[in-house]
């Protein structure tokens, strides 16, 4: 199953201001205390500027609180990643052309859902020096039902094997006790 959607927004601010704000949104203390309280941590993994073109490329790791996913499905999808979802954000800024593109993907919970978000920031075509056009394209791919069913089947098999082992041990104890009883009866004859 794949779900895609696109949305656009016009910021009534110039490109340089909007992109500076976009860079800071996850690290701004006021934003993290209110609207972005689900963000736990952000780390810059790499950042470099091409001296010829002026292109800035950066990769960040973002940790956030996982969406409310049933515990069993979360355990199946991520081998117990808990309440944290990890994302990787790649940003490419062409400052001379006033173009910024950001691609984010989840790095955890991928066995359950794969989310890719592509954002672009560009000068608005009508008022390029005053406004910024933001475009967001999001694609969500859920794990195929067969894969989820296979993981559920594997979990059920494991749980059944554990239960079988417990019951088998109890059965051996019972058989052992019955054998002792029969041995005692035979000795009486």
- pLDDT tens for 135-185 read 988 887 766 654 556 665 455 445 534 543 443 343 334 334 344 555 677
pLDDT value, residue 127: 96
pTM of the model: 0.71
Q: What is the mean pLDDT of residues 85-97?
A: 93
The pLDDT of residue 2 is 64
Tell me, what's the pLDDT at 74? 52
Q: pLDDT at residue 38 above 70?
A: yes
Residues in the chain: 189
CA–CA–CA angle 105, 41, 109 (5° rounding):
35
What pLDDT, on a 0 to 100 scale, did the predictor assign at position 151?
63
pLDDT of residue 129: 94
Backbone φ and ψ for 125, nearest 5 degrees, come out as -65, -25
């Amino acid at each position: 199953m794949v779900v895609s959607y696109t949305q656009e927004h016009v910021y009534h601010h110039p490109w340089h201001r909007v992109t500076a704000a976009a860079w800071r949104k996850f690290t701004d203390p006021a934003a993290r205390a209110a609207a972005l309280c689900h963000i736990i941590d952000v780390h810059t993994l790499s950042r470099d500027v091409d001296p010829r073109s002026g292109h800035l490329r950066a990769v960040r790791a973002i940790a956030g609180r996982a969406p409310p996913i049933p515990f069993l499905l979360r355990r199946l999808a991520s081998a117990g990643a808990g309440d944290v979802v990890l994302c990787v954000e790649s940003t490419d800024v062409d400052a001379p052309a006033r173009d910024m593109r950001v691609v984010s993907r989840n790095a955890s919970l991928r066995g359950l859902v794969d989310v890719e978000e592509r954002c672009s920031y560009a000068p608005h075509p009508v008022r390029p020096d005053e406004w910024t056009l933001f475009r967001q394209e999001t694609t969500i791919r859920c794990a195929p039902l067969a894969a989820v069913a296979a993981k559920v089947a594997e979990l059920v098999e494991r749980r059944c094997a554990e239960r079988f082992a417990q019951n088998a041990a109890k059965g051996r104890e019972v058989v052992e006790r019955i054998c002792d009883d029969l041995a005692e009866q035979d000795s009486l004859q």
